[in-house]
Structures are given as structure tokens and as C-alpha cells.
Amino acid sequence: MISKIKFIIAESFRGFFYAWTPALLSCITIGISLFVITISFFSYFLFITYTDTVTKDYELNVFFSESTSLENAEKSFNEILSLPSIKNGEFINKNKSAKKFKTYFSSNIEDLLGENPLPYSAEFNISQNNRNLDSLLIISENLKKINTVDIVKYDKEILIRFENIINKLMTTFSIIGIAIVVISIILVSNTTRLMIHSKKESINILSLLGATNLFIRVPFLIEGIIQGLFGASMSIVSLYFLKILLEYIFVPLVLVNDYNFQLIILLNLGLGIIFGLIGSKRAVSKYLS
């Protein structure tokens, strides 16, 4: 049993180094595909994380009707605050409204108009699960149905732009990533096919000696896994240097912490093995029936 395992492992590495040029090419292609996939995956989550800051933490402004009393406005505020889609909020009475007016316009509204006609209002932050354009539209329409609510405002245009940017980025990265993944699998498959053709005589001898199909196929499958691991290693090294570069440029803002990089390593190794195995299995299934 041990001798069989040694033979399988030796054959796998022998095949890999025998056709090192196509094998190296497939490794590089796998590395590029994993690099693109990882960048797109973490860019998406980083983009979502920093969207909160740019969009004022998904702030939603509610203005109550002019005829609404302070008691009813506060009651409506507490009613809205209790909704599961609302994270927190601040009630703005007439005094706070006047202070905001003075901050923005450098004038006292009571001095200008002789009174304070500003309505009661409130600012609400949306909960994490509802921080998207569709949810905001639904929340806004529901709040407008409340009798005391007059106007509901939020940064709709900014959110639409962010949604469009995210969709375009993800579409672009997905197309590029899928194309490179397909190319890497084909290259692994072609490398394995070359090895199968170069070992036709050895395969025939093993078959005559009673070797099973599984015993003959396993070295080629392991060879594909080796290519996947080498490709993953290339991707991990490239990502590590990219991480150092980004940390150097954006210090003290660190984009990728150690915990995330451990996840990157696992993701690359796992996907590398899968890509290599799929490519080698495709060739083995087609040329070793």
C-alpha cells in the first residue's frame, strides 16, 4: 500500500516537472484568476463598508406637518424609532431647527421672520440589513403614510450612483474572472492531456499488469492539484505584496488586516485546488476512458 502511494506521488511530481512549460503557464493563469477573484471579492465588501461613511450612514430625514403638535411629533418619532428597519434617530425640535438654520445660513430665523416657522423633524439611521436603495424606497413610502409625516428625504441620487458603480464593478470583475478561470481550467486540462499522451505506453503496461483505472488516473489528478496549489501560492504572494503596498500608502488606514489575509490564503488554496482538479479531471475523463 505504501509503495503504491509513493508511486502515485512520484508520478504526479514527475509529470509536473516533465511538462514544466505548459504546467508553469497553467499555474500562472490560475494565479491570475485567483488574484482577480480575490481582489473583486474583497473590493466589493470594502466598497460596501465605506459606503456608509459617504452616504452619511444611510441617514433618512423626516419632516412633520406644520400643524403637528410637539406631543404628536414626538409620538410619531418614537413610533418610527421602534421599527426594525431603523437603527437609531434624533428628534429635532424648533430650537434645534433654528440652530441648524443659523449654522447653515449664518442668520437667526426669528430675527428674519419674527417667528420660528420651521417644522418638527427627525433624523434616522437605517439598520444594516436595510442599507440598499430598494429598502430605502419601501421605508420611505411607508413613513409617508403616517398622518403626521409631511416629507421624507434621503440621498437618493448618491445611493443610485453607488448602486450603479457596484453593479458595473461586479459585472466587469465577474466577466474577467470567469473568462480567466475558464482559460486556466483549459490550460490545466491541456497540460494533463499532454502528459497522458506522453505516457501512453506506461499506461498500457500498467493496464496489462492489472492496474485499475483509478490507480492510473490518480497521478494525473494530483498533478492538476499541484498546479492549482502553485497557482494559489503565486496569487497569495502577489496579494501579500499588494497588501503591504496599500498599508504603506494608506497608513494609518489599513485596508486588509491579518484576520482577512488568513481568509484570503484559505480562499486561494481552496479555489486553486478546485480549479486544478476540475482541469485535470476534464482531461482524464476525456482521454482515459
Residue 256 DSSP label: S
pLDDT of residue 179 exceeding 70:
yes
User: Where do the structural domains in the chain lie, given as residue ranges?
Assistant: 2-52+161-287, 57-154
Mean pLDDT within 98-107:
72
Grid coordinates representing 77 are 418619532
Residue 59 DSSP label: E
CATH of domain 57-154: 3.30.70.3040
Place 236 in a pLDDT band, splitting at 50, 70 and 90: very high
pLDDT tens digit string along 54-102? 555 567 888 888 888 888 888 988 988 888 888 888 888 888 877 777 7
pTM as predicted: 0.59
Mean pLDDT within 163-182:
77
Residue 57 DSSP label: T
Mean pLDDT within 154-182:
74
- How many other CB atoms sit within 10 Å of the CB of residue 163? 14
- The DSSP line for 216-230 is HHHHHHHHHHHHHHH
Mean pLDDT within 194-208:
66
Q: Cite the beta strand spans of 109-216 per DSSP E.
A: 121-126, 149-154
Rounded to 10 deg, the angle between the 200-208 and 156-198 helix axes is 70
Grid coordinates representing 63 are 419632516
pLDDT of residue 202 exceeding 80:
no
Alpha helices (H) in 70-119, listed in sequence order: 70-81, 94-105, 109-113
Give residue 22's pLDDT: 77
Q: How far is CA 166 from the centre of its chain?
A: 10
